[in-house]
Amino acid sequence: MGWLACLVLVVVSACTPAAEAQTRLIVTDSLGLPGINLTCLLMGCNVVRGLGDPNGQLFLVTLPPILNPVTKLLQISLQLGVLSVEVDQVVSQQGPVSTGTPSYMTDETPVTYYGTTVWQGYLVQTGNQLVRTGQAQAAFNAAGNGVIVADIDTGVDPTHPVLQGVLFDGYDFTRNVSGGSELADVSGGPTTSQNNAEASPTVLDQRTVAVLDQRTVAVLDGGSYSDFGHGTMTAGIIHLVAPQAKIMPLKAFSANGSAYDSDILRAIYYAVANGAQVMNMSWNYSSYSSDLAQAIKYANSKGVISVASAGNSGEYTMVYPGGLPGVIDVASTSNEDSQSTFTNYGVPPVFMAAPGEGVVTTYPWGTYAAGWGTSFSTPFVAGAAALMLGANSNCPNWTVPVGLANAHYIGDINLGFGRLDTYQAMQACNLLP
């Protein structure tokens, strides 16, 4: 499934994968590995791998091109032990267009922030002031210490000086290797030649802030690099709100903004198995997936706080996982505290909103960039959840949604409880019995 979109980005619509040599299926078999192996022996399919569910019943299966996918899907679904069969769909994102250049984007004054040096514009940007991050951190002596946030995205730049000290062991599901670095998607950095990696070295360097939208992404523009940097950006917003929380980069998306459903499922189960307490999901499916619903239900049962983007098609519509039970679905607001024109809206599924326009955050190679979209609203809320969980055990996981609901109501019933107010959220959960 793909999506990441946006560095401005974020909406996704489920779609059929591009023509491939093989058809990919996600199969749930109650008989486990022996059962699915027997089924594929009979049906001529191939078991690629298990997808990490706790019951050992979920598998990625491929069909060779010589087999009719529709006929075989039906035949597989009728085999003994098979509970469900879904196409391993690909999701692609669309996103809003950036508008203007906020003044704080060029404030490069170096300031110290929890042991690292950051741009002042990163701290004083309008969105961060609106949600009152600094007040909440100071008043409640909280910075997310001891909390692990899984960021399911394009990966992260593990060398970024702002992030490298807070990264937790991650994983790259696109290559099946540990780490979760998104730098592996390109063959060079800002000085790479155009012929080498479609790079534009004049666009981004250590002193230039890039403005990103769904078509133009800082250094690497379009095509297979359309969403490069997205994961580093979402991680930077989580860090902005909860600077002592550990971030677990789970790379399920490629730099082109696409990911297979199976890799997303593996990432969710990996996050739960490896101690994540919050999941940031700045992407969405436009259609319901029972396997995704089951994975989120499992994460919820283990006390994981799931936060997802509402999407950027400007509609009253349900997307997933935001629309699933127990997920905090986040819409976008402007720096003027109004509903963003591009955000999806409506209650349900929207639980709340957060700033999502001109958000300055970290970008690969030690730089910064700005993004527009619910992709960037979501990590504000995920960071606030981490801040609450790390508040000296005063805010256990069940209090987090209750606390977040103490948002700043901006007079718009389409945005759920309102725009995130981290101070009010912290105050509320500290007062709960």
The residues of the chain that CATH labels 3.30.2130.10 are 17-88
71's CB contacts (< 8 A; 6+ apart) are none
134: three-class secondary structure by DSSP: helix
Cα 250–chain centre separation:
9
- What pLDDT does 99 receive? 59
CATH topology of domain 17-88: VC0802-like (3.30.2130)
E strand residue ranges, 16-107: 23-29, 46-50, 58-63, 82-87, 90-94
pTM of the model: 0.87
158's CB contacts (< 8 A; 6+ apart) are 164, 167, 179, 180, 181, 183, 249
The token pair that represents 267 in the structure block: 């990432």
304's CB contacts (< 8 A; 6+ apart) are 271, 272, 276, 277, 278, 279, 397
E strand residue ranges, 7-45: 11-15, 23-29
- Cross-strand bridge partners of residue 328: 307
Predicted confidence (pLDDT) per residue in 47-85, tens digit: 999 999 999 999 999 999 888 888 999 999 999 999 999
- What pLDDT does 1 receive? 41
- Cross-strand bridge partners of residue 360: 370
| Superfamily of chain region 97-431 | Peptidase S8/S53 domain (3.40.50.200)
- Phi, psi torsion values for 368, nearest 5 degrees: -130, 155
The residues of the chain that CATH labels 3.40.50.200 are 97-431
Mean pLDDT by 10 residues, the chain (433 residues): 37 34 92 97 96 97 90 93 92 59 85 96 97 96 96 96 97 96 75 30 28 34 73 96 98 88 95 98 89 97 96 92 96 95 93 94 89 93 97 84 95 94 92 69
Q: How far apart are CA 310 and CA 359, in angstroms?
A: 17
Q: How far apart are CA 192 and CA 188, in angstroms?
A: 5
- What pLDDT does 21 receive? 66
Q: How far apart are CA 255 and CA 69, in angstroms?
A: 28
